[in-house]
Amino acid sequence: MDGPAGLFAGGSRKMLLLITSAAGLILAAAVSGMAAICYAETTKGQAPVFGDKVENGTYPIEVESSSSMFRVVKASLTVEDGEMEAVLTLSGTGYLKLYMGTGDEANRSSEGSHIPYVEDAEGKYTYTIPVEALDQEIDCAAFSRRKQKWYDRKLVFCAGSLPKGAVDRGRILEDGCYTVGLSVQGGTGRATIASPSPLVVTDGAAAAVLVWDSPNYDYMVVNGRKYFPINKDGDSVFEIPVLAFDQEIPVIADTTAMSKPHEVSYTLIFHSDTIKKKTERDTAALVALAAMALAVAAAAFFRKKMLSHV
């Protein structure tokens, strides 16, 4: 059988294997390049932050309310061994009590589960309530003094308003690709690391891709373990674990720029308030690029084969 039909009949399996192999190489290259597109805006919606991710202590915190009639002017969050509660101060005195749930649930509940107000020194109404999680909506019913009925409200305790170090960001990041701001101290000051740096989270463990502005670093030591560059040419690039955010991390980088290799001590700080997650658009663009490259490669392959049978 001659022509394209014969080509398909006689060598279809071989061609399929070749195309599949090409696809694999292209997609592998696309996946390996994901760290390069981590510089994107944060997506809306954060994962809930539970008490076991917040250090023990008492902190001022911002609280968003679903209603302008229920405005929180001040809030204090207390965390102890994973349990959280907050003291809310409202702008007015129109609510006699709160219930952590919906108004319908409050109507069916006992008086003992209601949270009465307590006046502070300025005569403001305060309420001490349990907090299930930060960065997620919490149902809260408020009983109106004037209307004598429950009103549904929703509250969000904003983890981002807590002081640096209060929340262990590394333990709440979902798997994916991010960027993070980085400070570098130590050394001679002649070489530094690009900031922000790509940040990859896998199974809850965070690793940063460090891009030096020098090709002369042949290894780094982090927490007693040696790491080698992940590239062969150009400026030195390393992938190292992020042991903590908002804390000083001592590292060693060995430079070959001198007459003989020399280990230089540095201190790195990864800033949690700068973490940004890549958008789905970036991932889609990367996959589309890989698909386009595959289509071009396949077309060229078929054209070459068909011309060889003419």
Domain boundaries, the chain: 1-38+282-310, 51-161, 173-277
* HEC sequence for the chain: CCHHHHHHHHHHHHHHHHHHHHHHHHHHHHHHCHHHHCCCCCCCCCCCECHHHECCEEEECCEEECCCCCCEEEEEEEEECCEEEEEEEECCCCEEEEECCCHHHHHHCCHHHCEECEECCCCCEEEEEECCCECCCEEEEEEECCCCCEEEEEEEECHHHCCCCCECHHHCCCCEEEEEEEEEEECCCCCCECCCEEEEEECCEEEEEEEECCCCEEEEEECCEEECCCCCCCCCEEEEECCCCCCCEEEEEEECCCCCCEEEEEEEEEEEEEEEECCHHHHHHHHHHHHHHHHHHHHHHHHHHHHHCC
Can you name the CATH fold of 51-161?
Immunoglobulin-like (2.60.40)
pLDDT computed for residue 11 by the predictor: 44
| Each residue's pLDDT tens digit, 127-143 | 999 999 998 999 999 99
Residues 6+ apart with CB under 8 A from 189: none
Residue 211 pLDDT level (bands cut at 50, 70, 90)? very high
Decide which of 107 and 13 is more confident.
107
Write the CATH number of the domain with boundaries 173-277: 2.60.40.1850
pLDDT computed for residue 288 by the predictor: 54
Residue 198 pLDDT level (bands cut at 50, 70, 90)? very high
Q: Is there a common fold for 51-161 and 173-277?
A: yes
Q: Lowest-confidence range among 68-77, 221-230, 275-284?
A: 275-284
Mean pLDDT value of segment 67-96: 96
pLDDT computed for residue 292 by the predictor: 56
pLDDT computed for residue 28 by the predictor: 36
| Each residue's pLDDT tens digit, 271-302 | 988 888 876 555 455 445 445 545 555 555 55
Q: Is the pLDDT of residue 44 over 60?
A: no
Residues 270, 263: Cα–Cα separation, whole Å: 22
| Each residue's pLDDT tens digit, 162-186 | 987 888 766 667 888 999 999 999 9
| Each residue's pLDDT tens digit, 236-276 | 999 999 988 888 999 999 999 888 899 999 999 999 888 88
pLDDT computed for residue 202 by the predictor: 85
pLDDT computed for residue 124 by the predictor: 95
